[in-house]
Amino acid sequence: MKMMTYSEGIREGMSIRMREDPNVLLFGEDVGKFGGCFGVSMGMFDEFGPERVRDTPISEGAIIGCAVGAAATGLRPIAELMFCDFLTVGMDQLVNQAAKMRYMFGGKISMPMVVRLPAGAGTGAAAQHSQSLEAWLTHVPGLKVVYPSCAEDALGLMLSAIDDDNPVMYFENKVLMGVKGEVNSLEPIPLGKGKVCREGSDVSIITYGKQVYDALEAAEKLAADGISAEVIDLRSLYPLDKALIGETVSKTHHAIVVTEEVRRGGYGGEISAIIGEELFDYLDAPVARIGALDTPVPFAPVLEQYYMPNAADIISAAKKMF
């Protein structure tokens, strides 16, 4: 067992594969000697050199386009964007090229690229640097999407993301970067496999990323009131562990879906729809869906906290079910 921060888990996953495979490389804005906007690639430039840890121009279109070309010609690129918000500049290269090339070429090429996407509010970075845009990417056939919540999962999912022959969108929550956790395994975590973070019998809280911690806090407080909450960390948004969702809902008969994204049109709605369509007979109450308010992310700290979902929202939703 080893203690690592969330950011160290990401770095270790990348470094393991870069030591093993010379075709794996990292590039993005300031990922070299500076070590990345959030310090994730600190020290990697010294270990792997400027050919494999490369600073790029300030052009997300160029970064994603370079990753597409590199992957199509046999490399395994990891492209870092400073903030997931900036993916908008590279959406054509990603959505219309990377996501579709393997399908349109009949599987004759692979597209083994990872796009790292720091996301989420809570750092005072305001409306253009704080969004959670995972719903956009889970909507696109051809893309895989993961969102780890702890150091061990960050490491294991990174290994699997690099190994995959399809484009993998790798979300990183900015608030979690310095959060430490136990790392008991250096093995890949299969995409499409969630986990039970806390067992319970009365209500299932289904979530991912930072909201796992909100869910665990809520579960602890609900237990004091006699409500046993099970906390599910999806980890992988696509492919999705529908079997795990089925197991927990069939056990508790109550479901709360929690995401940090804006609630309207969010990925939480997709999970809720799956539960409603495929697990309706197990439900004793409607699915509760919790997300951020329908507004751009505020800059003022007090408003930013008001905008974001929290443990109190989960507790309130759970108590309304009984």
CATH number at residue 246: 3.40.50.920
Task: Say yes or no: 128 and 249 in one domain.
Answer: no
Q: Is residue 294 part of a domain?
A: yes
Distances (CA, A) of 29 to 35, 46, 55, 108, 189: 10, 17, 5, 31, 28
Query: Does residue 314 sit in helix, strand or coil?
Result: helix
Structure tokens at 27: 């590039």
Task: Say yes or no: 36 and 121 in one domain.
Answer: yes
Please report the pLDDT score of residue 279 as a whole number.
98
Q: Is residue 265 part of a domain?
A: yes
DSSP run (H or E) holding 213: helix 211-224
Task: Say yes or no: 231 and 128 in one domain.
Answer: no
Last residue of a domain, one of 183, 209, 229: 183
Task: Say yes or no: 204 and 294 in one domain.
Answer: yes
Q: State the catalytic residues.
A: 60, 129
Average pLDDT by stretches of 10, the chain with 322 residues: 96 98 97 96 97 96 97 97 96 97 95 98 96 97 98 98 98 97 96 98 98 98 98 98 98 98 97 98 98 97 97 98 94
Task: Say yes or no: 217 and 266 in one domain.
Answer: yes
Q: Is residue 245 part of a domain?
A: yes
Q: Is residue 129 part of a domain?
A: yes
Last residue of a domain, one of 183, 210, 241: 183
Task: Say yes or no: 100 and 209 in one domain.
Answer: no
pTM of the full structure: 0.97
Residue type, 283: L
Task: Say yes or no: 140 and 239 in one domain.
Answer: no
Q: Residue 224: what are its φ and ψ, rounded to 5°?
A: -65, -20
Please report the pLDDT score of residue 272 as a whole number.
98
Helix 211-224 vs helix 311-319: crossing angle, to nearest 10: 50
Task: Say yes or no: 201 and 174 in one domain.
Answer: no
Q: Is residue 190 part of a domain?
A: no
Task: Say yes or no: 123 and 30 in one domain.
Answer: yes
Expressed as residue numbers, the domain containing 295 is 195-319
Q: Is residue 34 part of a domain?
A: yes
Task: Say yes or no: 178 and 210 in one domain.
Answer: no
DSSP tag of 203: E
List of residues 6+ apart from 104 with CB closer than 8 A:
none
Task: Say yes or no: 158 and 204 in one domain.
Answer: no
Last residue of a domain, one of 141, 158, 183: 183
Q: Is residue 189 part of a domain?
A: no
Q: Is residue 188 part of a domain?
A: no
Distances (CA, A) of 144 to 16, 95, 115, 156: 21, 12, 10, 15
**In the chain, how many domains are there?**
2
Beta strands in 34-164 (DSSP E): 53-55, 76-80, 114-119, 144-146
Please report the pLDDT score of residue 1 as a whole number.
81
Task: Say yes or no: 160 and 120 in one domain.
Answer: yes
Is residue 158 within 8 Å of 14, Cβ to Cβ?
yes
CATH of the domain at 66: 3.40.50.970
